[in-house]
Structure 1
């Protein structure tokens, strides 16, 4: 039997990573090249002439005298951690298929749990913001899903404490999954699904769903919708129309249970985004490392108060 080329990628070994990003000066050089590929530009006036203040590690514009550091305005801003620690965290998160918990991250990085938790949450936020910029298109399988809730008593949609989320997977012409988008929502109502579709679907996409009434809201977002009434029960997950979306839901839930055991419902959007980000870039593990570094450059600073708010609407 032929090996799955995606699963058997070599990725980046820890030895390769340390050779490229093992020193602070190496990380600084790469971050500068990624942030300003054509040379430094003042973030205030875009002037390209500057001087470096060695004593404070700042760039000063020769025109407006605005001062900026290498990490100012990025996700790394206001952090006391070195870039080597940040880059190692990015490496561990992107190269681990099922995710890495904040506790394990703290052990690997040699930092406190609280510090590792903040690093993890910030990087997952960068993942979420980047994936939200690329809507699904073409043929899309969609389903309603839930996370958390009580372990006994009422199960399914009526259970207390469950966090609803939309699970969607786009397919290519051969029927293979290309991208997925898992998004926490405030409930499965028509207006809520319309807002979701406008943010996460390209117009004229063909969306296949079960008979849940709220999915008709997708039509109001200028996408085509075809409902297949499944009747519920275990047999409905075996239908080929929903094969990949149900597979992805199962895989993500199993990975979250196995890696994190339990997560706070208000942080669910970020954890879902982590799996989507890595799934959507699974064809090139080596490139994924730099993609998350670049995403961190494009993400605004996230102080503690914003991390704790957690909820980010589309």
Structure 2
């Protein structure tokens, strides 16, 4: 039996990676080519003529025209990093070649760094993936479906609209033969007409043919100039729905990835980054060797993002919870404390909320230092 060409492509082995990027000088040269493929350009005045000041890790490029100095990592995701470039490149390699995803904890063990360092590396590289794919809309025939991140919890509303789940849109563009081309996974605030219309305007090319199930809000894709072809699926099984074969396959693969690699993921906070990373790898599945090169270039050309920026973006989604969601969150934390566990999430409640005082008082009374709790 012949092997599948995509599944069994060689990719880049660890020995080959180390031979190409195992030294700091090799990584520095590769990063220079990724940032300035046509030669150095001053980020302030775009003049090419420059001096090289210093050497090694302290090497600076000084523009001859405006005298502006910049380093190799300034303005990139590696800005102000204290890690060697070899560690960055190894992290990029491990994340790009892991088909089923790689958690920050696994990255910590592979790199030999602390967990906070591995987590920040992971989030920054994922943000480069998200920004790169987020700027490319889907076109042609697009299979569309609704999905949720999150599992069952006691109480609350089941199914669609549950406060325990995070909604996202799965869309796959297919070619003339019906094979998948590109995938896009995007968090949405809700499955409403306005949310889907906004998503379609940012994610679909006008004139695309969108095939979806009978969910009413998907009709809003026409606001983005697309043609909508709904199909009521009723109680049919996925295998009986050829028009949705690839979007269902992608959702199944995503479920396997999240369940196998990530065991303590806050979907509402960071789900968007992990969805984007999955889609990024899928969209470049035909060339695993090129996937590494693409990600190095994307990391080099993505603007710097700090840990505070990442946290603020996550908290923006976290603080958008409804009153019922906050009550459930507070109840979960109370239960955790009663069992002697540390609460998973402790944040400042949104200002101006009528229910801020009682929950804030609960925080002040319930959260005590771990050392003062009985073991």
Secondary structure (helix, strand or coil) at the match of 2:172 reads strand
Query: How many residues are matched?
Result: 312
Given the two structures, how large is their TM-score scaled by the length of structure 2? 0.81
- Unaligned 5+ runs, structure 1: none
Q: Which deviates more from structure 2 when the two are superposed, residues 296-305 or residues 20-29?
A: 296-305
Whole-angstrom distance in 1 between the partners of 2:248 and 2:4: 21
Q: Is the 8 A contact 2:144 2:170 kept in 1?
A: yes
- In structure 2, what is the equivalent of residue 262 of structure 1? 264
- Counterpart of 1:310 in 2: which secondary structure? helix
User: Counterparts of 1:41 and 1:158 in 2: how far apart (Å)?
Assistant: 50
What does the per-residue CA deviation read over 1:125-156, in whole Å, with 9 as the maximum and x for residues that have no partner? 00000001111111110000001143345532
Structure 1 distance, partners of 2:32, 2:256, is: 38
Cα distance in 2 between the residues matched to 1:98 and 1:7: 13
- Give the Cα separation in 1 of the matches to 2:169 and 2:114: 34
The question of whether the paired residues in 2 share the 8 Å contact of 1:150 and 1:159 is answered with: no
Tell me, yes or no, if the aligned pair for 2:153 and 2:164 is still in contact at 8 Å. no
Output the aligned Cα RMSD. 1.5
The residue correspondences of 1:144-159 to structure 2 (distance < 5 A) are: 144-153=146-155, 154-159=157-162
- Counterpart pick for 2:194 among 191, 194, 198: 191
- Mapped to 2, the partners of 1:98 and 1:224 lie a distance apart of 34
Task: Check whether the contact 2:238–2:245 (CA below 8 A) recurs between aligned residues.
Answer: no
- Give the whole-Å Cα distance in 2 for the aligned partners of 1:81 and 1:87: 10
Structure scoring higher RCO (CA < 8 A, sep ≥ 6) equals 1
Asked if 2 retains the 8 angstrom alpha-carbon contact of 1:50 and 1:59, the reply is yes
- What pairs with 1:110-121 in structure 2 (closer than 5 Å)? 110-121=112-123
Identify which range, 151-160 or 32-41, moves more after superposition: 151-160
Whether the 8 Å contact between 1:93 and 1:100 is mirrored in structure 2 is yes
- Following superposition, the deviation at residue 53 of structure 1 comes to 1.4
SS of the residue 2:252 aligns to: helix
Question: In the alignment, what sits opposite 2:293?
Answer: 290
Q: CA deviation at 1:234?
A: 5.6
* Alpha-carbon distance in structure 1 between the residues aligned to 2:122 and 2:111: 12
State how far apart, in whole Å, the 1-side matches of 2:270 and 2:145 are: 21
Question: Which deviates further from its counterpart, 175-184 or 52-61?
Answer: 52-61
Q: Structure 1 residue 254: deviation in Å?
A: 1.5
Whether the aligned pair in 1 keeps the contact of 2:238 and 2:248 (CA below 8 Å) is no
Equivalent residue, structure 2, for 1:14: 14
From 282, 288, 293, the counterpart of 1:279: 282
Q: Tell me how far apart the structure 2 counterparts of residues 126 and 39 of structure 1 sit (CA, whole Å).
A: 22
Q: Distance in 1 between matches of 2:204 and 2:192?
A: 17
Q: Secondary structure of the equivalent of 2:222?
A: helix
TM-score, structure 1 normalization: 0.96
The one of 56, 59, 66 aligned to 1:57: 59
State the partner residue of 2:90. Answer: 88
Match of 2:138 in 1: 136
Residue matched to 1:247: 249
Task: Show the counterpart of 1:162.
Answer: 165
- Residue 87 of structure 1, CA deviation: 0.4
How far apart are residue 262 of structure 1 and its match?
A: 3.0
Larger Rg, first or second structure (1 or 2): 2
Please tell me whether the aligned partners of residues 149 and 160 of structure 1 are also in contact (alpha carbons under 8 angstroms): no
Answer with 284-293 or 148-157: which moved more.
148-157
Q: Classify the secondary structure of the residue corresponding to 1:45.
A: coil
C-alpha distance in structure 2 between counterparts of 1:237 and 1:140, whole Å: 18
Q: Within 1, Cα distance between the matches of 2:61 and 2:236?
A: 61
Contact 2:196 2:218 in 1 (8 A): yes
